[in-house]
Structure 1
């Protein structure tokens, strides 16, 4: 099972046949990989348990034949841009080393493993080195050095000396190390510096050094550090205070609000006794005696990480507006719909608990409606699939992701797979590939590793009717990926408001005193290179929410989507619609 261990460790899917391997006649990465894999498939049975020495010798020759082929100029050129070919070299060197051990050729085995180490350092390979087939090498200094090399990624990036546990006062060294760790990880891996072109990241570091050194307590330290990440203008880049400080920084009132038509409006009140004093539709005009827009701008926005101003406003005047010390109630100035003003003192006694999505609703005209409020787990997928019998019988479908802040994009993909029989194209993913050699030569370059993916596993039950997706500024991350793929599929229309404009993969790591941070290390783009990050996905039919509609309990976006679907027609799996105003 040695081949399986290494292949899994490198996340390389292999499909090995046992026909006689012939050198490829066309020079491309796929044919080169298939040839090398076929030679390995032919060799492995020859070097299995109980193999005769002459068979093992034959296996060694086959492994070497594959390695020699991959060393040819044409194959080497392909390998520079294809990780699967490099991974296959790792598999071959490992298998050849195991065969050499069977023959008692320790030096040849160690040489093969050292060549492997020049291809990749990976802890999972170190675990493969512990296989009993290599037991004869365990006391060799060269082998122990190889094991240590494979563990270098974990040793380099674990940062255990910096990520110290909670204590109320940090040392100067810890405070500086935490700042340095975040600054260095962002400098090397953050993918959206082009969104903040005027930001001088080195100068930011110098400016913050004096501030963190002067912070007398861990609480003061994080009060400074939490203003650092927002400078990068990315919602997937944050610094979070230790759990022991949660009630100091993150306690909130059981009132949810939203910025609608430039007014902060109460959406929901989470406690019955409070609901008798504060009502849905009330306008928040001040907090602790400070006008609400000024309060949000000065006291909340500096702590908000966001990619767009619309998203920053939404987070400021909804998610984080009442955040603060649990021991300090907040004084809220309110204006009723009739214009009467009053103040209410509200304890920071917990957030509003969002009610669960109601499941499927059937609207007039045979239109099915379902809200998918999060992709943090598979509950949205289960709800959608439970509703499928009714959806398949419907004349149209509205999927509401207006309150979906994201999660795991695979859950959204599972839903989309019920809307088409064609492959679903993901956005392309890009990570930084800083060319340090060019930098050493005086010509610094940051280029990109780019990959794309198509989901080709269709669901058995597919809805072919017209579809509309409802979006808002609260549609974020995996929900925006969902909306983007829906757009790429040309499967229907998007109705509502422009999305928040933030997606990506964050890298998480711990900070001194039990804090935590994350930095966005992946950017997603359409096939033509354009993106919605920093802009949002604009709807086909724009229906902004109004204060009047909210107070009247009217959902105009849903009404417009349902009305549009009654007139839509499907053509060849795509949806065409008349002009909509």
Structure 2
């Protein structure tokens, strides 16, 4: 899920507004930040590139007024630790130091800059210090020391000594370092240990230490590491082998399958030659002579992470079911709809063509339908906006995110902004804030920083009609955020099957030999504290897929959604305000 980041800004404000003459009556974080920003904007207007010294001195005084305000007892007591206020204080300190430097008051500028190290260490501050107004300070030892301090986060968190390039055999030190990096970052930052309460993370490290040391090659090392992240049971936490091993570990066959009614059913064949032998609706009963459920459980599932068993099963029995060595074809036992069984041998030659997307179309009764199959780029969002003229004239709208595995939530918000004239509330965002002082005093504690967001993107074109969203087990991440926000908006009905149950922000790590990993470091909750992670978002109206429907070409979820939009009373009531789940 995308979150807009609050950046440290030094650019001259584009909106120069005026601060109130007196501080706001309330010292809430938002009001305090806005008051301080107003003073900073006035000061930046005074201290422009061609400003005379007297105006720059007045700007210095305004910066100081804002700094004194944010340092006051009332603001500190009510807004302590608020990131927006900290960033604004950084902006004020940097801006005041720049004004002092423009006046030639180098010692005053250095004194202000010295306070930055007690607020934050960040490469963004180092970049700000490269501004030409600080040129006269570049040879000052205190200035050089501050620059070095601001580089420290990159030096600490970037791991070039561990993230070594591809070699067919890694050293013992590299193998241990890669394991240790992932283990330590998860220990400190992973946000869903409560979902695996029986997992002894220290014992996992000891167990895997012996395994990785014993791995003779890089391929063997990654075969071990690929089973590590799934122990955390999170779809945003995983390990990926180097691309040099892709043809050995990940080469796919051109088949897409799904677990439907406890059967593995072929959904799509991406190679025309294979499609002449294997058909949509065929049941997979074995792989390489092993019963398919046993094969999936033993060969695939140990490398699959997910927050719900339904999603882990779905991942196990889809494309990944046939992944393996490109040099070894896969032998597939099949059962036709009439019960006849046969065996087909298929090369691991790649996915081939992808299943056709739903696109946009108009259904009977003036119902518009559009499939948003991904938020990885802006393609589907732009397709939605291109279809807006027809959508605006429709009686109802169905948005299908059943195949949407996520991406950038900003695209999801952009679509939702065409369905409402009100601000769009996000899920609340929570990150770990481990209290190391309590731990040092014998009271280990993990507490949480929690933030609320909303998006205000008013659109000229807003659809006011009835809306239904179609979901399924493959609806994940930003697509689930889309569904959750749709629910919070109380904008319509959700139809289909329960979603995959995972969202969050992954932290990326580079591993030895060219591999990489992700660890989920953010958990999202509804405003009331409930969440769908680990459970999924249940539909208001269930419409499970069946083998018979798939073989008959029937889409029950789409049929039910269209029926409800045409006749709201068909489900026994209003569809505009379903409950949160």
Query: TM-score when scaled to structure 1?
Result: 0.93
CA distance in structure 2 between the aligned counterparts of 1:578 and 1:150, rounded to whole angstroms: 49
CA distances 1:244-278 after superposition (whole Å, capped 9, x unpaired)? 00001100111111111111111111111111211
Contact 2:251 2:324 in 1 (8 A): yes
1:40 aligns with 2:40: yes
Contact 1:329 1:345 in 2 (8 A): yes
CA distance in structure 2 between the aligned counterparts of 1:59 and 1:374, rounded to whole angstroms: 48
CA distance in structure 2 between the aligned counterparts of 1:141 and 1:464, rounded to whole angstroms: 62
Say if 1:380 and 1:12 are closer, same or farther in 2 by CA, change over 3 A: farther
* Matching residue of 1:230: 230
CA distance in structure 1 between the aligned counterparts of 2:133 and 2:338, rounded to whole angstroms: 82
Contact 1:568 1:576 in 2 (8 A): no
SS at match of 2:111: helix
Say if 1:375 and 1:33 are closer, same or farther in 2 by CA, change over 3 A: closer
* Matching residue of 2:275: 275
* Matching residue of 2:3: none
* Matching residue of 1:249: 249
1:428 aligns with 2:428: yes
Contact 1:334 1:342 in 2 (8 A): yes
SS at match of 1:294: helix
Say if 1:370 and 1:219 are closer, same or farther in 2 by CA, change over 3 A: same
CA distance in structure 2 between the aligned counterparts of 1:434 and 1:541, rounded to whole angstroms: 41
> 1:488-507 maps to which residues of 2 (within 5 A)?
488-507=488-507
Say if 1:411 and 1:356 are closer, same or farther in 2 by CA, change over 3 A: farther
SS at match of 1:343: strand
* Matching residue of 2:531: 531
CA distance in structure 2 between the aligned counterparts of 1:287 and 1:412, rounded to whole angstroms: 38
> 1:357-436 maps to which residues of 2 (within 5 A)?
357-436=357-436
CA distance in structure 2 between the aligned counterparts of 1:101 and 1:371, rounded to whole angstroms: 56
Contact 1:163 1:510 in 2 (8 A): yes
Q: What is the number of equivalent residue pairs in this alignment? A: 571
CA distance in structure 2 between the aligned counterparts of 1:357 and 1:553, rounded to whole angstroms: 15
* Matching residue of 2:317: 317
CA distance in structure 1 between the aligned counterparts of 2:393 and 2:104, rounded to whole angstroms: 69
SS at match of 1:368: strand
CA distance in structure 2 between the aligned counterparts of 1:446 and 1:13, rounded to whole angstroms: 38
1:203 aligns with 2:235: no
1:144 aligns with 2:144: yes
Query: TM-score when scaled to structure 2?
Result: 0.93
CA distance in structure 2 between the aligned counterparts of 1:164 and 1:293, rounded to whole angstroms: 38
1:10 CA displacement: 8.1
1:16 CA displacement: 4.5
SS at match of 2:317: helix
Contact 2:511 2:517 in 1 (8 A): yes
Contact 1:418 1:463 in 2 (8 A): yes
Contact 1:7 1:14 in 2 (8 A): no
Contact 2:468 2:495 in 1 (8 A): yes
Contact 1:332 1:344 in 2 (8 A): yes
1:485 CA displacement: 1.2
Say if 1:382 and 1:70 are closer, same or farther in 2 by CA, change over 3 A: closer
CA distance in structure 1 between the aligned counterparts of 2:42 and 2:10, rounded to whole angstroms: 21
* Matching residue of 2:301: 301
1:79 CA displacement: 4.0
> 1:19-58 maps to which residues of 2 (within 5 A)?
21-44=21-44, 46-49=46-49, 53=53, 55-58=55-58
> 1:350-361 maps to which residues of 2 (within 5 A)?
350-361=350-361
* Matching residue of 1:192: 192
Contact 1:16 1:37 in 2 (8 A): no
CA distance in structure 2 between the aligned counterparts of 1:20 and 1:366, rounded to whole angstroms: 52
Say if 1:108 and 1:480 are closer, same or farther in 2 by CA, change over 3 A: same
Contact 2:175 2:512 in 1 (8 A): yes
SS at match of 1:405: coil
CA distance in structure 2 between the aligned counterparts of 1:279 and 1:7, rounded to whole angstroms: 52
Say if 1:38 and 1:383 are closer, same or farther in 2 by CA, change over 3 A: closer
* Matching residue of 1:3: none
1:120 CA displacement: 1.1
Say if 1:86 and 1:509 are closer, same or farther in 2 by CA, change over 3 A: same
Contact 1:175 1:212 in 2 (8 A): yes
* Matching residue of 2:70: 70
Say if 1:183 and 1:460 are closer, same or farther in 2 by CA, change over 3 A: same
1:107 CA displacement: 2.7
Say if 1:164 and 1:402 are closer, same or farther in 2 by CA, change over 3 A: same
> 1:453-492 maps to which residues of 2 (within 5 A)?
453-492=453-492
Say if 1:51 and 1:345 are closer, same or farther in 2 by CA, change over 3 A: closer
CA distance in structure 1 between the aligned counterparts of 2:370 and 2:459, rounded to whole angstroms: 19
* Matching residue of 1:333: 333
CA distance in structure 2 between the aligned counterparts of 1:239 and 1:10, rounded to whole angstroms: 38
1:525 CA displacement: 0.7
RMSD in angstroms over aligned alpha carbons? 2.4
SS at match of 2:264: strand
The answer for unaligned runs of 5 or more in structure 2 is: 1-5
CA distance in structure 2 between the aligned counterparts of 1:187 and 1:11, rounded to whole angstroms: 38
SS at match of 2:493: strand
CA distance in structure 2 between the aligned counterparts of 1:20 and 1:51, rounded to whole angstroms: 23
* Matching residue of 1:164: 164
* Matching residue of 1:213: 213
Deviates more, 1:403-412 or 1:242-251: 403-412
CA distances 1:426-466 after superposition (whole Å, capped 9, x unpaired)? 11111111111221122122111111222222221222221
1:166 CA displacement: 0.6
Deviates more, 1:508-517 or 1:459-468: 459-468
Contact 1:238 1:518 in 2 (8 A): yes
Say if 1:546 and 1:56 are closer, same or farther in 2 by CA, change over 3 A: closer
Contact 1:268 1:352 in 2 (8 A): no
CA distance in structure 1 between the aligned counterparts of 2:227 and 2:529, rounded to whole angstroms: 31
* Matching residue of 1:450: 450
CA distance in structure 2 between the aligned counterparts of 1:95 and 1:352, rounded to whole angstroms: 56
1:577 CA displacement: 8.4
Deviates more, 1:333-342 or 1:525-534: 333-342
